[in-house]
Homo-oligomer: A and B are copies of this chain.
Amino acid sequence: MGGDYGPRCTVPACLDSLKKNPALHIHLVGQQEAIEQELLLYPKADTSRLTLHFATESIAMDAVPSAVLRHHADTSMGVALELVNSGHAQAVVSAGNTGALMGLSKLILKMIPGIVRPAIMTAIPTRTGKSHLLDLGANVNCTAEHLYQFALLGALTTEAAGLRRPKVALLNVGREQIKGNSQVKEAHELLKGLSSINYIGYIEGDDIFAGVADVVVCDGFVGNILLKATEGLAQMIGGRIRQELGRGIRAGLLAWLAAPVWRALQKDLAPERYNGAGMLGLNGIVIKSHGGAKREAFQYAIKAAVQAIEEDLPSYLQQHLHPLLEKCDGEKAACIE
């Protein structure tokens, strides 16, 4: 029900995903009328692997998360999370209210023991392929311990996805030891002693897109502003190129000649391909789709959920986090002394 387009986007995206992936089964949760009306538009679609669950309420995009936590039993988001909690489903995908999804996920699925706060992580395109950025807004006031845990979550999640000793970095205003705010400096002290993850130290803003690190760790305030700003900049550049291409008498020929260039850029850089941010640190898989995602982009979020299921991500995290969190407690004690 969530996002800017609701079932108009999510229903056809689910049908497309079912068609592409014969192993997929989708539980579609939402208001009966809205879903059924949308399904009527696709009479030929195979719905044999689609189960409908109706919820009378849905959470508004501007709902205050604390209010949502008191009344969620009949909301589409609450019902979907309960399906995962009860073992009927293996992952939740939602384009809805991020704060509500985070709060309800913590309430219903609970956190992995030892993890203080969940973090939101997304992939972004870089010069060398892609990197992963976290946190993206779940946590606006972060301590060094939060940043430390985000680094572990990011390292293990990308490792589970097949990266070998992913390079993990802390985002900072400089690469020198003396640079940074107090949280970042303290997190650096916690991380630099770890041998089990491949911590490479500080990186700066421009290093992100140079692809210097596989996992870039920052607090949610920085991450959220950074991600939205880069989206805004990319849109501005794309818009300006289209505007300039549309001018002059050579425009038609130019557009035709430039089409393959444009397609190649779209293929690598299009934000649709990077849709589907993982909420990490929960006892279960929760994927947040961009609120502005359309039919194609939402399928990438579903794909991200399928991948996390195939990796058995929550088990992998639980198993590998345990010794690291214990080590963390020991090192922190040493660090404070």
Within 8 A of B (CB), among A220-276: 220-222, 224-237, 239-241, 244-245, 247-248, 250, 253-254, 257-258, 260-261, 264-265, 268-269
A262 and chain B: residue at smallest CB distance: B244
Asked if A230 contacts B228 (CB within 8 A), the reply is: no
Asked if B180 contacts A209 (CB within 8 A), the reply is: no
Asked if A218 contacts B207 (CB within 8 A), the reply is: no
Contact with B along A156-174 (1 / 0, CB 8 A): 0000000000000001110
Contact with B along A165-205 (1 / 0, CB 8 A): 00000011100101111100000000000000000000011
Asked if A181 contacts B141 (CB within 8 A), the reply is: yes
In the complex with contacts A140-B173, A176-B62, A241-B225 CB distance below 8 A: no
Asked if B248 contacts A260 (CB within 8 A), the reply is: yes
Interface size on A, residues (CB 8 A): 60
Q: Give chain B residues whose Cβ lies under 8 Å from the Cβ of A71.
A: none
Q: Which of B176, B210, B231, B261 touches A244 (beta carbons < 8 Å)?
A: B261
Asked if A233 contacts B257 (CB within 8 A), the reply is: no
Asked if B236 contacts A237 (CB within 8 A), the reply is: no
A278: CB under 8 A from chain B? no
What number of copies of this chain does the assembly contain? 2
Asked if A240 contacts B225 (CB within 8 A), the reply is: no
CA distance A261 to B268 in the complex (A): 22
Asked if A226 contacts B205 (CB within 8 A), the reply is: yes
In the complex with contacts A173-B137, A229-B208, A222-B224 CB distance below 8 A: no
Q: Give chain B residues whose Cβ lies under 8 Å from the Cβ of A180.
A: 140, 221
Asked if A239 contacts B127 (CB within 8 A), the reply is: yes
A223 and chain B: residue at smallest CB distance: B173
Q: Which residues of A contact B (CB under 8 A)?
A: 62, 64, 125-127, 137, 140-141, 171-173, 176, 178-182, 204-210, 218, 220-222, 224-237, 239-241, 244-245, 247-248, 250, 253-254, 257-258, 260-261, 264-265, 268-269
A–B Cβ pairs within 8 angstroms, 25 of them: A125-B236, A140-B179, A171-B225, A173-B224, A181-B221, A205-B224, A205-B226, A205-B228, A205-B232, A208-B232, A209-B233, A218-B225, A222-B222, A222-B225, A225-B226, A226-B229, A230-B230, A230-B233, A237-B237, A237-B265, A240-B268, A241-B265, A244-B264, A248-B260, A254-B258
